[in-house]
Structure 1
């Protein structure tokens, strides 16, 4: 167990924290679920990460203010679609509230019957294991039940814009 000693920690200025975190490249995902009434829900997330190999766990963090938040914290399962470099329009659509996110027909029934993108870099189906408090976000811990990957290039969010990683020459060991 980690024990912190001493007084309270100083907090970083929120604008400096936001500016700093914008410099950290992150994958762009669209996370989907279906509520008890069969209605699909989804949001764009760049706060997605693997958590554990044994058992296989991932985490994703929806904002508590998002209209889809209640559906996700009550869901028994969700699907993480890792977007390809050509899917920034989909990322933008799922990042906005107040519109039909599923009307364009690019989401199809996929793993666990959840809405998925055929052109995604990867799809990770999860059962919801735990919901944790994460300040102004919730942390959804998902137990991975299936995963698939394509050979497409991923979409990355960096410096408040969508981009794609630059290809790098293969690394070799000098010898």
Structure 2
């Protein structure tokens, strides 16, 4: 029996192959929102969301370390994870675009810390920005959930490079 190496072996594939393999995993779609300043908000589409712990209630998501929004998300005390419903593909596309004001014409209410909760989201989680971990070319954000709500709605899903909807509940 061989001894396993103490460090990772170099990958036997290129990034394109890896990206294609990852696209086979269907994920839900979220829009992460926070505040830029007194009257301006920031939001972005993310599919890298997951639960971590029930006690305390923790969730994670990740952001590319070169993202223009990185300093805002890294330094703000709170953010909201909005889980998109099947009929919100337009919001996923809008918050993934380079539109200057992604909130223009978008309906939302404010959380108790004054952050946008997107109207119609199937769930939302208001999080304290508990910790951040740089890994590879991303930063993993750990949020401690302070408040959340949900509706029984079909989800918006991302699979193989495209948005899909599911009627299964």
TM-score by length of 1: 0.87
Measure the CA separation in 2 of the matches of 1:129 and 1:38: 24
Who is 2:119 aligned against?
Answer: 118
The answer to whether the Cα contact below 8 Å between 1:79 and 1:111 also exists between their aligned partners in 2 is no
Measure the CA separation in 2 of the matches of 1:94 and 1:73: 18
DSSP-derived class of the 1:9 partner? coil
Q: 1:165 to 1:111 in 2, by over 3 A?
A: farther
Runs of 4+ in 1 over 4 A off after TM superposition: none
CA deviation digits over 1:144-171, x for unaligned, max 9?
1011001111101001111123538xxx
Measure the CA separation in 2 of the matches of 1:60 and 1:136: 14
Measure the CA separation in 2 of the matches of 1:138 and 1:7: 21
Measure the CA separation in 2 of the matches of 1:37 and 1:136: 31
Measure the CA separation in 2 of the matches of 1:117 and 1:111: 14
DSSP-derived class of the 1:88 partner? helix
Worse overlay, 76-85 or 105-114: 105-114
TM-score by length of 2: 0.90
Measure the CA separation in 2 of the matches of 1:119 and 1:99: 23
Measure the CA separation in 2 of the matches of 1:7 and 1:40: 42
DSSP-derived class of the 1:125 partner? strand
Structure 1 or 2: larger strand share?
Answer: 2
Who is 1:10 aligned against?
Answer: 10
Worse overlay, 110-119 or 135-144: 110-119
- Establish whether residue 108 from structure 1 lines up as the match of residue 103 from structure 2: no
- Establish whether residue 90 from structure 1 lines up as the match of residue 130 from structure 2: no
Q: 1:20 to 1:85 in 2, by over 3 A?
A: same
- In the alignment of these two chains, the number of paired residues is 165
DSSP-derived class of the 1:61 partner? strand
